[in-house]
Structure 1
């Protein structure tokens, strides 16, 4: 990762951390005040997001360090490790919240101050949507996996806030009708309805991170793009190129290519260097640090 890209990545993470801190404190304080488990969940999620953002910031700083004897291949694996930790923590938070919501439903619901909660929900939606849009926009220029995970965190926080707002509006409307007795169930039921989506997002994040740590084959579309680039490399009558594997680890793309000799014999060193040069040039548009491993196959 270039120094400029790493600096931009850290700047975005610091910005995200400061914004998250504000939502975390506001959510937990107001949630306890009005007695809403969903607002408390929103604040707790933001607080955990802050800790995870600081973890991402640390990872970005370490990943910027050059390779060393101890880490000859660099620290690119820190990215999927951090993302896996993020996904696991978020999954745990969602599961705890679902358990609390089920308990609340069976214990008669929860009364909340819908007027204050609705106002908070509206402010939260606007603020989270702003944070989501800004972080996503900034990541378009650098294509960082860590920032992409941050974008998903903001996406989840925004959708939580939207669900909170809709739930409080629904509860307020119920209080104005003959269904007012059921308004106490709006808060825990709202939490349960959100569970499906919020279990899926971190689960997908965890799956992708683990696949990188296990050096599984990269995404099919990415593999297809790499193979297309290899086929466009100027042909050499003596050598035929075949992509044997493509794996992604953090911001690195590791590509293994077999050089098949058409005839028995040796290939000149300059031809191998020329082939590597053309391959690197063709793959340079990809938003990753490409590592090419060329193997001669008779």
Structure 2
């Protein structure tokens, strides 16, 4: 049983790291919602809900990474998957990243509206002792998980883990802001500034939301680029450089290249237009040229989809 659990949460794999983050996020979410209700702080309750939403998105991300990993393995499971998804699962990755980032920003917009309404209605009273205790504990957890995520991703290089680590870092900033605000609210009680106490919670929530809302926008932009199959400039330039060299080396007439980045997948299609008068070659010789091109492009892995075609008819390249 212990071995099964450790294997399930193996941080040397993308799936294991995400599972560990999901467990921690769910615990933090329940902790936040509980203390938000006890202290009367909508800011804390929002942070708990935000964490719960983040956990849901991470679970979906984990499902996608499992599908991508399963489609890259050898065995009956891969055969069943490939029969239904012959083009792979890369397209799901930017869709999930974009959806996750959009939902997180939308939740912050909704909370901002609520915070402004609360400020206009005179704020709300809360128990600062419980709020400060929550902030200290949660800040330590968030910093620890953010550090864990960034360190693990130095080895794995996963967009999902990168987004998850940024989520923990955002949560740490949120909690730090809450701690400062609640400490100020607690300090002014019984003084001439006590009138500001009811405004502390909605004010800090509004500030937090204004900070959070733009953070996922870059992830949304990159996800849209992948979903819309916008040609990646660096990859296209590299492929064109290699194709021109091959055309010159083997005396081909010209070429056409098509590239796209979809999540972690790279899709490359190369069409070489060959003269009808070119001396015949055996299939093995054409395969050797393909091997040469593939080696020059590099990055051979289950995440590279490379198609190389030789033809005398330019219409096949369009």
Give the TM-score taking structure 1 as reference length: 0.84
Q: 1:1-298 residue pairs with structure 2 within 5 A?
A: 8-63=13-68, 64-65=70-71, 66=78, 68-175=82-189, 178-218=192-232, 220-221=233-234, 223-224=236-237, 236-239=249-252, 244-259=257-272, 261=274, 265=278, 268=281, 269-270=283-284, 272-285=286-299, 289-296=303-310
Unaligned ranges ≥5, structure 2: 1-9, 72-77
Write the distance in 2 (CA, Å) between the matches of 1:71 and 1:222: 25
Unaligned ranges ≥5, structure 1: none
Larger Rg: 2
Cα shift at 1:255: 1.9
Change (3 A) 1:94 1:274: same
Write the distance in 1 (CA, Å) between the matches of 2:243 and 2:177: 47
Cα shift at 1:107: 0.8
Native 8 Å contact 1:243 1:255 kept in 2 = no
Write the distance in 2 (CA, Å) between the matches of 1:23 and 1:33: 15
2:6 alignment partner in structure 1: none
Write the distance in 1 (CA, Å) between the matches of 2:246 and 2:179: 54
Give the TM-score taking structure 2 as reference length: 0.79
Change (3 A) 1:225 1:236: closer
Write the distance in 2 (CA, Å) between the matches of 1:225 and 1:159: 40
Change (3 A) 1:261 1:175: farther
Cα shift at 1:157: 1.8
Deviates more, 1:89-98 or 1:199-208: 199-208
Native 8 Å contact 2:36 2:43 kept in 1 = yes
Cα shift at 1:258: 4.2
Change (3 A) 1:101 1:239: same
Write the distance in 1 (CA, Å) between the matches of 2:48 and 2:101: 17
SS at match of 2:162: helix
Cα shift at 1:6: 11
Write the distance in 2 (CA, Å) between the matches of 1:227 and 1:154: 40
SS at match of 1:73: coil
